[in-house]
Amino acid sequence: MSKNAIVIGAGFSGLSAASHLAAAGVKVTVFEMHEQAGGRARTWSQDGFCFDMGPSWYWMPDLFERYFSHFGYDVKDLYELKRLDPSYRVVWPEGDHSDVPAGVDALRAFFEAHEPGAGRKLDEFLSQTKYIYEAAYEDYLFRPSLSFFEFVDPRLVGELFKLRMLRSMHRYARGFFKNERLARLVEWPVLFLGASARETSAMYSLMSYADMALGTWYPPGGMHRIIEAMVKVAEELGVEFRLGEAVEEIIVENGRAVGVKTHEGTQRADAVLASADYHFVETKLLAPEHRQYDETYWESRTMSPSSLLYYLGVEGDLGELPHHTLFFDEDLDTHMDAVYDQARWPEAPLFYACAPSVTDPTVAPEGCSNLFLLIPLAAGLRDDDGKREKLFDMVMDRLERHTGRPLRERLLVKRSYAMRDFEADYGAFKGNAYGMANTLRQTGPLKPTLRSNKVRGLYYAGQLTVPGPGMPPSLVSGELSAKVLIDDLWRTT
């Protein structure tokens, strides 16, 4: 007998889950509240400018290759990729900057120029982090984390001790490099996991390996090209998409999820997989008796930061600004403390500038530039239009000083996006942008589970469950949840 499943949400994890389910012979219907697939990776266009609304870094290309190859596709047949060189720029407190080159050979020379012997230390660092990356890629990343027993593995524990992975990323980086800038360069990628290097295990140095060894890439046409490719694969597998149709309730009968209700009516299924915000699903789509986690639980979680985003269309060029620029020109530790303080807006924020039109002229009209700014803020911070504008002027002062261009007087398009927008568009808990921070107390089985322990036939995927935030982890999350659902369906047949 054929089985059918409903997937709620068409972001990375939902699209991944839908395709894995369909490839296993399950009839899949995806309900997405927006008129466009992608979730946080949607696009927004105005006056000839096309903006990626969320993700802008393409790391871990091997995980995307792995995903598409599972369905018989090669990435190069779906979208183009360009490796960025420099990978990115870092602006320092002294006002100067470093353009971080692509490729290990160039990086080795770069490190050696800043600290004698650092080239050799970089090789040692990459050797250790490669081991962790490959171990995660081949095994641990793909465990569903339904039980602590999945991780009772003497080999893993032994290797973690041997490589000193149980200390913080901050200490681990400084065990290799005395030069503070070099230490900052190898530790900063863990910020993608939602916590500072002081609070993140060196186990996540695998992110630094992904950055330095595997490179930073960009798909011409924008990050939404990945979503378009995923939708194409899903549709060819038979997945049905119901865009612009929000799920209003998950129907539970006799302790089992049997379908969903939308404004169009009711659709029944053998299982429901929710890739929307976990907290939103539990509190808005389920009756109280079917919820696994109460508000005390959620309030006790360490959330990744939210963000204040600006989508800017600029007349003219941006000077010598590269595709990615990290403004670490204020104190990083002070700012990281501020992005977990729900009571105050930061006084000296760090920020990130993405200028995709430098690489891809199709995202802006001829003679214009596409500029995306991101300022990390605390999830749960009270949104305020006046504070948004104050921070905008603050970071634009620094950006204009760096580029030598009067950008504000040449703005053609300007849109801000922050906590209340994340809440309205995604039901994001506390307006978070990235989910739950990957601290040691919120890793693996300590995250919200991807299989409901209250409702049979109900599953979860996305950045609030395993393995965590980010595009590649979301691909994995959808795969893990789909596999558990499939195993359960076939076991009960």
With respect to residue 93, please indicate whether it lies within any of the assigned structural domains. Answer: no
Give 238-250 pLDDT, tens digit per residue.
999 999 999 999 9
Q: Give the integer Cα–Cα distance in Å for 486 and 30.
A: 16
Sign of CA dihedral 460, 462, 464, 468: positive
Q: Quick one: pLDDT at residue 154?
A: 56
With respect to residue 84, please indicate whether it lies within any of the assigned structural domains. Answer: no
Give 152-172 pLDDT, tens digit per residue.
565 555 655 555 556 889 999
Which tokens go with 370? 């596409």
CB 134 within 8 A of CB 142: no
Mention every residue, 6+ apart, whose C-beta is less than 8 A from residue 193: 200, 204, 207, 304, 437, 438, 468, 469, 470
Give 200-243 pLDDT, tens digit per residue.
888 889 999 999 999 999 999 999 999 999 999 999 999 999 99
Domain end among 214, 242, 265:
214
Same domain, 167 and 241: no
Give 37-89 pLDDT, tens digit per residue.
999 999 999 999 999 999 999 999 999 999 999 999 999 999 999 999 999 99
With respect to residue 479, please indicate whether it lies within any of the assigned structural domains. Answer: yes
Same domain, 358 and 339: yes
| Parent domain of 180 | 103-214
Q: Quick one: pLDDT at residue 141?
A: 84
Q: Percent of the chain having pLDDT more than 90? A: 80
Q: Which of 413, 377, 381 is nearest to 395 (CA)?
A: 377
Confidence check: pLDDT of 411 > 70: yes
With respect to residue 32, please indicate whether it lies within any of the assigned structural domains. Answer: yes
Same domain, 384 and 461: no
Q: Quick one: pLDDT at residue 191?
A: 84
Give 309-366 pLDDT, tens digit per residue.
999 999 999 999 999 999 999 877 666 667 778 888 998 899 999 999 999 999 999 9
pTM of the model: 0.95
What's the domain count of the chain? Answer: 3
Q: What is the mean pLDDT of residues 169-186?
A: 95
Give 254-309 pLDDT, tens digit per residue.
999 999 999 999 999 999 999 999 999 999 999 999 999 999 999 999 898 899 99
CB 365 within 8 A of CB 49: yes
Same domain, 134 and 209: yes
CB 291 within 8 A of CB 283: yes
Give 110-163 pLDDT, tens digit per residue.
999 999 999 999 999 999 999 889 988 887 788 887 765 555 565 555 655 555
Same domain, 109 and 170: yes
With respect to residue 421, please indicate whether it lies within any of the assigned structural domains. Answer: yes
Q: Give the integer Cα–Cα distance in Å for 8 and 14.
A: 7
Q: Percent of the chain having pLDDT more than 70? A: 94
Residue whose structure tokens are 């000193």: 164
Domain end among 214, 245, 275:
214
With respect to residue 94, please indicate whether it lies within any of the assigned structural domains. Answer: no
With respect to residue 97, please indicate whether it lies within any of the assigned structural domains. Answer: no
In the chain, the N- to C-terminal Cα span, in Å, equals 8
User: CA distances (Å), 304 to each of 99, 339, 429, 493, in order?
Assistant: 27, 9, 11, 40
Same domain, 246 and 273: yes
Domain end among 214, 240, 275:
214
Same domain, 474 and 402: no
Residue whose structure tokens are 């995709």: 356
Same domain, 422 and 318: yes
Confidence check: pLDDT of 468 > 90: no
CATH number at residue 456: 3.50.50.60
Residue whose structure tokens are 């219907």: 29
Same domain, 35 and 126: no
CB 379 within 8 A of CB 306: yes
| 394 backbone dihedrals φ, ψ, rounded to 5° | -65, -50
Same domain, 180 and 225: no
Mention every residue, 6+ apart, whose C-beta is less than 8 A from residue 195: 302, 304, 437, 438, 439
Same domain, 195 and 251: no
With respect to residue 90, please indicate whether it lies within any of the assigned structural domains. Answer: no
Same domain, 482 and 393: no
Q: Quick one: pLDDT at residue 418?
A: 98
